[in-house]
Structure 1
Amino acid sequence: MWEPIAVPPGLVPPRPITVRAQTIPARGYFAEHAHRWHQIVYATSGVLTVAVEGRSFVISPEQAVWLPTGVRHRVGSLLGAQFRSLWVADEAGRDVAEHPTVFAVQPLLRALILEAVAIAGRESDDGYSGRVATLILDQFRRARPLPGALPWPREGPLVGLCEALYADPADARGPEEWGRELGLSARTLARRFETDMGMSLRSWRRRLRLFRVVELMGGGLSVTETAMQLGYGSTSAFVYAFRTELGSSPQAYIQEQVSGRPRQ
């Protein structure tokens, strides 16, 4: 069961940015709501589930979601996360993005967010906190919008399926086995997955594995350990699948995330 988290009382408009640091426990969530200001949804560790505009997806610490003023949304975490919420004044963030957008978070932007958290609530006679806020917004204006995060079901039996596969990407059960588990025919399950997620179960599972590469290797696992966790038969099979999908080896991709420099 998922447990709701209370929204902090006495919210006041940001000037121009207010930062909140909070731990979201496993299966904790903020019920659907909206703000009179923009919001940046980010986690320094763990994975967040974000539901907005009739769709649901998950983001890793290499991604953040920009939510424009007034957009209704729900945020939670399946396994727990260190949540960093940045509220941005309506006028200050007006030119960042008009619609909910997933952005890539490079090391400089991450460092600025962490600095904003560290100095939150402190008096700043020299205007330092304001300069940090300006740099954060500048970085979001320059950040690379991502075509999409990992889709996630909003409700129904697919939620349990996706949660199980996220917890154990090596689970090799296909539509027939999962259909029996969920009380659906294989054809019904496949059709519902295509309708709700916009892709087949096989394609989603491939996306899930690639999504978790960053989480696992970023947490210190080796290529071989990651391959085994994700259910690949060998390290070479994992490296080949990763290179086919993203055009580089896992090591090169992770290094790019750490350095912030794109591949040549």
Structure 2
Amino acid sequence: MSEIRHLPEAPTGRRPLTSGGGIDAHRHDTHQIVYACRGVLSVTTDAGTWVAPANRAIWVPAGTVHEHRAHGDTDLRLVGLTGNPLRLARPAVLAVGPLLRELIIAYTGEPPSPEPERDRLLAVLLDQLRRAPEQPLHLPTARDPRLAAVCAALHRDPADTSTLARLAARAGTSERTLARLCRAELGMSFPQWRTQLRLHHALLLLADGVPVTAVAHRCGWGSASAFIDVFRKAFGYTPGRAFTL
């Protein structure tokens, strides 16, 4: 990350971003909800990357050094919070239903609503946040150099279908050791991590307008139908609808 900026309070408001644009590394003393009602947003910390399309939001707790990156033309909405309604001390991806979406858009609208109306909006918004289920869309960062080398190679080519044994041999270690490292450092099995990686890449490609069939093959699925099935299970809609919500 670049030089870290310190913001005493997490801002609230709207920030349109062009594809590839973003907000460099910073931290703030209050909590924040980050939501892209159009496009895809990624938030990166030293613990990994969280990616959220338009039916997901990212929780960023106070003090977390992070940076934002937009994929596709992105309408970024930011909600700064002094309290911690989720009681989470780590970043997380949350499901955003239709009501929560409209509350976030209204609360961060331009010009800002009158203060009494904003207070009422915030109260309902916080109620909805507390009910929003957490989604497993975190792509953790590996620490061990052997596992980190394997992860980096798959980041470069998510369509690589090499077995864990073959990847371990390339990294100069054993399949058993690599599997153990995945569980210990990434908190999931290697197949689970690879699926997460491919879904993350797929979201970014879709945001850039790449056709569904091309995304499927570039991310390692054997067919568009197999990709659509996995995508629907992860996000609740098909990739063809990803940017029409």
- TM-score relative to the length of structure 2: 0.68
Q: Which runs of 5+ in 1 are unaligned?
A: 260-264
In the alignment, structure 1 residue 103 sits paired with structure 2 residue 91: no
CA distance in 2, matches of 1:149, 1:57: 9
Relative distance call for 1:219 and 1:115 in structure 2 (3 A) is: farther
Q: AA paired with 2:31?
A: H
Matches of 1:247 and 1:193 in 2, distance apart?
Answer: 21
Structure 1 residue 58 displacement after superposition: 1.9
Compute the RMSD of aligned alpha carbons.
Answer: 4.3
Is 1:229 aligned to 2:218, yes or no?
yes
Report the Cα distance in structure 2 between the residues aligned to 1:85 and 1:173, rounded to whole angstroms: 40
Q: Hey, what does 1:74 align to over in structure 2?
A: 65
In the TM superposition, 1:1-264 aligns within 5 A as 2-8=1-7, 11-12=8-9, 18-19=12-13, 21=15, 30=25, 35=29, 37-43=30-36, 45-50=40-45, 56-61=48-53, 62-67=55-60, 72-76=63-67, 84-90=77-83, 96-100=85-89, 101-119=92-110, 122=111, 125=114, 127-143=116-132, 145-153=133-141, 155-157=143-145, 158-159=147-148, 161-179=150-168, 181-217=170-206, 220-239=209-228, 242=230, 246=233, 251=238, 255=241
Whether the 8 Å contact between 2:207 and 2:243 is mirrored in structure 1 is: no
Amino acid paired to 2:93: V
Contact 2:139/2:196 (<8 A) preserved: no
CA distance in structure 1 between the partners assigned to 2:95 and 2:143 by the alignment = 27
Amino acid at match of 1:18: T
Which consecutive unaligned segments of at least 5 residues does structure 2 have?
none
Judge conservation of contact 2:79–2:108 (CA < 8 Å) in 1: no
Q: How many residues of Structure 1 are paired with residues of Structure 2 in the alignment?
A: 236
Judging changes above 3 Å, is the alpha-carbon distance between structure 1 residues 211 and 195 closer, same or farther for their aligned structure 2 residues? same
2:66 corresponds to which letter in structure 1?
A: V
TM-score normalised per structure 1: 0.64
| CA distance in structure 1 between the partners assigned to 2:22 and 2:150 by the alignment | 15
1:26-73 deviations in Å (ceiling 9; x for gaps): 898536x562x332244553322345xxx54523233223355xx542
